[in-house]
């Protein structure tokens, strides 16, 4: 099968397009998927660069990407909930492989049918980022109606889902982005307040004891830098739990009435079905910034690595 893979950690230049062996067996609880699209996340370049090598198996060649959509073409003998021909989406925790190949085996417990009002390209842009923000805001921080939520990095992959989830559940949302995304935040996501992070000391202009939740899905805030903005009992949630300032924040929060929380996204179809239903009900929209062909995947990475993506970047897998 055709695949995009790397044989050593490094920059974009280590990515290769070539042939890898087809999966030989379909394990009993898994399905064989003809992958049609895969979506990119910062995790993918962090893995490829070797930054997370202590947390993954050093197995090479490694394919890239976590998010995928495609069609089921064979079933393991214990698979109960899917049939051949189903269009599914999900994300694979990349401990030893990614999803950038024409064929992929995946456990049925991480798969959902794609939302009926989307297509395979859009569906591939959803799982990891949407699940991260759902698990952070709903399951960890327990966002609810009337909350005031501050979202840093609101225009990125995780951010656009966070803003929509918080608004949908009745919160007042303040977004933090650069100037070029302020109007998009106001007009499309109907945020209550939009802040430009390039304004000098922009955090100092926010009211103290104002927010129930501060969700840092970009990763450059810390508990210490924003704890004054939180109400008593409020929560700071980060997507970057291993940064030194966040490890310190976790300790400091033990002596505070304000909470430090961190999310490590979990792939499962109970949560993915919640997201799927919200998309089908029109409560969450998908924003694909750019779509690339298989032989342009290095360009997709180059763009993602600018950290200026608006929504998501996806790649089409060759037939
Ligand atoms: N722990 C987990 O399980 C988990 C899961 C998912 C993601 N993450 C991590 O969360 C982070 C964000 O992921 P993502 O997919 O949302 O990334 P992304 O799509 O690459 O984020 C891009 C966005 O970041 C914004 N941005 C750039 N500089 C900024 C700044 N100084 N302040 C605030 N926003 C800024 C950009 O907005 P402008 O263009 O307006 O600057 C852009 O829209 C990554 O580090 C990722 O690895 C962790």
pLDDT, tens digit, 9 for 90 and up, residues 93-147 = 877 789 999 999 999 999 999 999 999 999 999 999 999 999 999 999 999 999 9
Under 8 Å between Cβ of 236 and 203? no
What is the 8 CA–ligand 1 centroid distance (Å)?
25
Q: Quick check: CB of 132 below 6 Å from ligand 1?
A: yes
Cα–Cα distance for residue pair 98/47, rounded to 1 Å: 10
Reading the block at residue 171, the tokens are 């919160």
Q: Quick check: CB of 297 below 6 Å from ligand 1?
A: no
CA 190 from chain centre, in angstroms, equals 21
Q: Quick check: CB of 221 below 6 Å from ligand 1?
A: no
What is the 132 CA–ligand 1 centroid distance (Å)?
12
Rounded average pLDDT over 244-258: 95
Q: Quick check: CB of 65 below 6 Å from ligand 1?
A: no
Cα–Cα distance for residue pair 80/5, rounded to 1 Å: 31
Q: Residue 36: its pLDDT value, please?
A: 98
Q: Dihedral of the CA atoms 271, 277, 280, 285 (nearest 10)?
A: -40
Nearest CA to ligand 1 atom 48: 239
Reading the block at residue 109, the tokens are 């417990």
Quote the crossing angle between the two packed helices 157-168 and 127-134, to the nearest 10°.
Answer: 50
Q: Which of 284, 285, 317, 275 is nearest to 300 (CA)?
A: 317
Q: How far is CA 67 from CA 123, 246, 248, in A?
A: 9, 27, 32
pLDDT digits over 206-231, tens only?
A: 999 999 999 999 999 999 999 999 99
What is the 144 CA–ligand 1 centroid distance (Å)?
24
Q: Quick check: CB of 156 below 6 Å from ligand 1?
A: yes
pLDDT digits over 46-87, tens only?
A: 999 999 988 888 889 999 999 999 999 999 999 999 999 999
Q: Residue 208: its pLDDT value, please?
A: 97
Beta bridge partners of 106: 31
Domains along the chain? Answer: 2-126+286-316 (3.90.180.10), 129-262 (3.40.50.720)
- State the chain's mean pLDDT as an integer: 96
- Please name the residues in contact with 255: beta carbons below 8 A apart, sequence gap of 6 or more: none
Pairing of strands 30-39, 2-6: unpaired
Cα–Cα distance for residue pair 193/148, rounded to 1 Å: 11
The pick from 39, 40, 42, 196 for probing ligand 1's pocket by mutation, whose C-beta has the most ligand atoms within 8 angstroms, reads 42
Which atom belonging to ligand 1 lies closest to the Cα atom of 180? 40
197 three-class SS = coil
117: left (phi over 0), alpha (psi -120 to 50) or beta: alpha
Q: Residue 97: its pLDDT value, please?
A: 86
Q: Which of 310, 316, 297 is nearest to 45 (CA)?
A: 297
Q: Quick check: CB of 219 below 6 Å from ligand 1?
A: yes
């Amino acid at each position: 099968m055709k695949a995009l893979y790397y044989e050593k950690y490094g920059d974009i230049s280590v990515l290769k397009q070539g042939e890898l062996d087809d999966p030989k067996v379909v394990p009993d609880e898994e399905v064989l998927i003809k992958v049609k699209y895969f979506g990119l996340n910062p995790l993918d370049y962090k893995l490829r660069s070797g930054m997370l090598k202590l947390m993954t198996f050093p197995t090479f060649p490694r394919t890239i990407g976590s998010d995928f959509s495609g069609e089921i073409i064979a079933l393991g003998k214990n698979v109960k909930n899917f049939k051949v021909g189903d269009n599914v989406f999900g994300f694979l925790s990349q401990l030893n492989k990614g999803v950038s190949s024409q064929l992929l085996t995946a456990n049925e417990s991480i798969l959902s049918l794609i939302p009926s009002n989307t297509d395979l390209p859009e569906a591939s842009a959803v799982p990891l980022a949407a699940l991260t923000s759902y698990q952070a805001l709903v399951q960890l921080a327990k966002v609810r109606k009337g909350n005031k939520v501050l979202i840093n990095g609101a225009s990125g992959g995780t951010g656009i889902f966070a803003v929509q989830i918080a608004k949908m559940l009745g919160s007042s949302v303040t977004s933090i982005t650069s100037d070029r995304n302020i109007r998009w935040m106001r007009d499309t996501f109907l945020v209550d307040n939009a802040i430009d992070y390039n304004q000098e000391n922009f955090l100092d202009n926010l009211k103290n004891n104002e927010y129930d939740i501060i969700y840092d899905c970009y990763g450059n805030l810390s508990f210490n830098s924003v704890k004054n903005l939180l109400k008593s009992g409020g929560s700071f949630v980060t997507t970057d739990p291993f940064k030194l300032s966040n490890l310190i924040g976790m300790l400091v929060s033990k002596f505070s009435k304000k909470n430090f929380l961190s999310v490590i996204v979990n792939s499962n179809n109970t949560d993915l079905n919640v997201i799927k239903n919200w998309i089908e009900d029109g409560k969450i929209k998908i924003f694909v910034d750019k779509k690339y062909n298989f032989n342009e995947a290095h360009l997709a990475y180059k763009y993602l690595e600018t950290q200026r993506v608006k929504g998501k970047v996806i790649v089409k897998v060759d037939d």
